[in-house]
Amino acid sequence: MKPRTKLEKLVTELSGKLPAITKEQEDWGKEHVFDHLAYKCKDELWCSECGKMWVDASNSELGITVLGDKTECPYCHHRLDVKVSRKQKDHEGGYMSILQVKGGFQVIRHIYCMRSTYKETHPVHYDFTEMVQEWISEDGKRTIIARPMNMGGNGWIYGAPLSIKSEYGSSCWNYRGDIYAIWGELYPKKELLSELKKRGLNRRFPDVNPSKLIRDLLKGSNDAELCLKTGQISMLKHMYKTGFSQLRYKPSFNICNRNHYIIKDASMWEDYMSLLSYFGKDLRNAHYVCPKNLKVEHDSLLEKKKICEAKLRQERDRIAAIRRREKLMKDIASFYERMKKFFGMKITDGNIVICPLESVTQFYQEGKVMHHCVYSNGYYKRPDCLILSAKDIDGKRIETIEVNLKTLDIVQSRAVCNGVSEYHNQIIKLVKKNMNLIRQKMTA
């Protein structure tokens, strides 16, 4: 993108005046961005720093020491972690982030560092390429200068020059959020805007995303500033990890500060606050909010809460069981009232016997044997619903029939598993023929 606004033009101009990455910075990156490894395969080892290979001679006259999983390269004398691996080459990459001040801006420069090492065949190769510059003004507004990304959005185009980019990229691939707020290894010689120093930032930079912290502080995030100034670094980290930009228990937090109480495990402390609040404890009382042993207090409250919740659950279950029982008794009574006039009714043609279901228990049995929902869907509760059971002369259930008492129609007649029996038509005919009997019973 071409610089269009006054600010973009200024930043582009200043960017051209930034010093090149120095050898000192590159050397620091070599040490701090990469792992330093000795790849070990059988008794051979090779060095990720110089590519040279040697034989593990822990018990030979060369006397190379392997201290636990650490060793030293006999050629470049780097201290190395031993890693069992068959790899013959190694490509590693990572970011180094450099904080500089230029023209009243806080600049964060993100350098992508690459290292290629080959076992014995080539000398080790390093590459340092500046990918992103975040230019943050005193009010926290950010202007981005970066290389373009490839179409997939998963890598930079190395050859293309750095230029102004819009805050959230120009394409839809930026769903991963703020791709420019890279959190690289922070180069220790840091230049900071005096405004940031005033807000509690110093060279001992806390372990949080630098770009986000710097912008928040400059935009006036009082909570981040408060954490920094009171040395509550665990809380600061926790805020950034959980994505809250504000403290959740600020009055309690202030009491900690007044009592010079440093919260060592902020996520546990917040948990503990929510437990205190669950038990209605005073969240402004130092006795509670500044526990000598946080873990012990936290665990004991958590245990208490579990017991409480279990009791509550039991009580809820007990009440629900009583309600269910009361409801069932009511349903049984009203079923009896509604249906007793049909009790004893019998429709038969000599082969098939059709009788009403006369109790909720019978509904249950019918549903169970016939594998349908006459009981589970509570047909006994339906006011205009007469349920009949058709059996053969041996008493074997054939179909279950629903008659609507308002319309005196057969709504359905179902065999086992809601199927159709070979007697279906016969049953329907027989019930229809006897609909008068049902009508008589209704008005009796």
User: Residues in the site for Zn ion, rule: CB under 5 A?
Assistant: 47, 49-50, 73, 75-76
50/355 with CB nearer Zn ion = 50
Smaller CB separation from Zn ion, 15 or 71? 71
Least distance to Zn ion, CB of residue 37, Å: 10
Minimum Å gap between C-beta 47 and Zn ion is 3
Q: Which is nearer to Zn ion, 118 or 173 (CB)?
A: 118
CB of 79 to Zn ion, least distance (A): 10
- By beta-carbon proximity to Zn ion, the closer residue of 36 and 397 is 36
| 219 Cβ contact list (under 8 Å, min separation 6) | 139, 140
Looking at the Cβ atoms of 95 and 126, the one nearer to Zn ion is 126
Rounded to a whole number of angstroms, the minimum distance from the CB of residue 48 to Zn ion is 8
Shortest reach from residue 122's CB to Zn ion, in Å: 14
Nearer to Zn ion, 76 or 329 (CB): 76
Q: Which is nearer to Zn ion, 3 or 74 (CB)?
A: 74
Nearest distance in Å: CB 52, Zn ion: 5
Q: Report in angstroms how near the CB of residue 59 gets to Zn ion at its nearest.
A: 22
State the minimum distance, in angstroms, from the CB of residue 80 to Zn ion: 8
- When the beta carbons of 53 and 262 are compared against Zn ion, the nearer one is 53
User: How far apart, in whole angstroms, are the C-alpha atoms of residue 347 and residue 359?
Assistant: 18
